[in-house]
Amino acid sequence: MAERAARRRRRLGGYLRAIGAVIWKDLAAELRSRELLGAMLVFALLVVLIFNFALELDVRSRATITSGVLWVTFTFAGTLGLNRSMAVEKDRGCLDGLLLAPVDRSAIYFGKTAANLIFLLIVAGVVVPLYSLLYNTNLLVPGLLAVIVLGCLGYIVVGTLLASMAVQARTRDILLPILLFPVVLPVLVAAIKATNGFLQGLEMADIWPWLNLLIVYDVVFTAAAFMLFDFVVEE
Amino acid sequence: MIEVRKLVKSFGLKPVLRGLELLVEPGEFLALLGPNGAGKTTLLRILSSLARPNAGLVRIAGHTLPGEAAAVRGKLGVVSHLPLLYGDLTAEENLRFYSRMYDLEGVERRVAEALELVGLRQRRRDLVREFSRGMQQRLAIGRAMLHDPEVLLFDEPYTGLDQEAAQMLDGLLRQVAGRGRTVVMTSHDLLRSASLATRLDILSRGVIARSLDPGSMQPGELAALYQQVTHG
């Protein structure tokens, strides 16, 4: 009995260490190349700037479109990052190298998801203050930051799974957004509505349904990805 | 050590392996020969649990696939024509990363031993993307040997290597096989395979068409027989 518990603890330790190793590897490689984060940041800043010049808005209409502009920026920059993150694994056959490790393959998925989430949150951390400056809108609201974390999590949870699937195809760059956008629609709608709610100072009772949807989406799709990842990556 | 029974694998409607049977004894060095599309890489991908067969039994080191895939992977070292290494990490970082993925103890010692084995200790702090193809392939062997696997699978490891790098790889493969490991290598190079392996199997149309003892054959005889089996 005690031996079985010790074995289970050892296996869990190995699982967590594998997740940590994948995160460390992605961050270390990115720190050196700055390819993924650089592209995501430049792209996100361009989107914000384009919206800034394209939409000459008064204060009232600005408040209503902020959430849309923010989430369009995160979504597009996120897709760029997801594509790049999986392409790196495919280029030198590294995905096979990961899959050959004697660890439950969901550890690879969670490691990649965590690294992708870190990259997207870094982008959000740059975009939000910049947007506040450009549009003269205060976005540093604690509730709004929670929405950003929950929304980005939902987006990356599904995005990493679908990017693992799309990377096997020749047309992976085109395939990912086509697969991803319909599936993340609920998370985007909920995130935009909740963001709007916080920016317009609505009652929490009006915002909670959207936050609940975000939480449920994150939990359901994390569980689904945990169960499906092995089948998605195996030939 | 490796037992394969009635293995079937198709991609869509195209059958690749058609009831393949294979037995590899512990310590044996098997070279799998065959033309393009014969199913060599598919067989190795199934053995390494990267692909799932449609039917048949695969048992490696006492564990059955796909049910005990993680246990099988712990006993396998795989080298393919791609290095499975990260270009933006150094040689040392790559090996350290894989050691953690394999949850190995004594990571630093194992990394140092692997680098020593493949003769890259001096280049351990260099980025892998700056390595030549031959050096990347040597490091790939170091990666595959990190966890001291019982079985080594080499999928066309000589692809893209120049003469010097190929000779160096010959030496490494002999060294690895000399440690009593079971080795399965796919190749198109008859002479090189005959000089390294203890058994040659010719894979044709999804089955093992012929099994040969390289010690009992002249090079010309081997080439003629290969032609006959694959084109006959």
**pLDDT of the residue at A163:** 94
Q: Which residues of B touch A100 (CB under 8 A)?
A: 48-50, 73, 76, 78, 84
pLDDT tens for each residue of B29-71:
999 999 888 899 999 999 999 999 999 999 999 999 888 999 9
Cα distance between residue A46 and residue A222, in whole Å: 31
Q: Is A55 helix (H, G, I), strand (E, B) or coil?
A: coil
What secondary structure does DSSP assign to B81-118, as a single string?
A: SS----TTSBHHHHHHHHHHHTT-SSHHHHHHHHHHHT
pLDDT at A57: 63
Provide the pLDDT confidence category of residue A3 given band limits of 50, 70 and 90. Answer: confident
Among B84, B93, B103, select the one facing A92 at the smallest CB separation: B84
Q: Tell me the pairing of strands B199-204 and B207-212.
A: antiparallel
Q: What is the mean pLDDT of chain B?
A: 91
Task: Check if the beta carbon of residue A150 is closer than 8 Å to that of residue A143.
Answer: no
With beta carbons less than 8 A apart as the criterion, state whether A100 and B76 touch: yes
Chain B residues with CB under 8 Å of A13 CB are 103
How far is Cα of residue B141 from the mean position of the Cα atoms in its chain?
A: 10
Report the SS3 class of residue B127.
Answer: strand
Interface contact flag, B70 A103, Cβ < 8 Å: yes
- Yes or no: say if B102 and A102 are a contact pair by the CB < 8 Å rule: yes
Task: Write out pLDDT tens, residues A50-80.
Answer: 888 887 766 667 777 889 999 999 999 999 9
Predicted interface score ipTM higher than 0.85: yes
Whole-number pLDDT of residue A59: 67
**For chains A and B, what is the number of CB pairs under 8 angstroms?**
85
Query: What ranges make up the beta strands (E) of B12-51?
Result: 14-24, 29-33
Residue ranges covered by each domain of chain A: 2-233
pLDDT range class, residue B81, cuts 50, 70, 90:
confident
Q: B103-137, pLDDT tens digit by residue?
A: 999 999 999 999 998 889 999 999 999 999 889 99
Beta-bridged to residue B207, according to DSSP, are B204
Interior/surface letters B30-48, b for 16+ CB within 10 angstroms, e for the rest: bbbbbeeebbbbbbbbbbb
Residue A177 confidence (pLDDT) above 70: yes
Interface residue ranges in chain B relative to chain A, Cβ cutoff 8 Å: 45, 48-52, 70-74, 76, 78, 80, 82-89, 93, 97-98, 100-103, 127, 143
pLDDT of residue B167: 86
Q: Are A134 and A52 in contact (CB under 8 A)?
A: yes
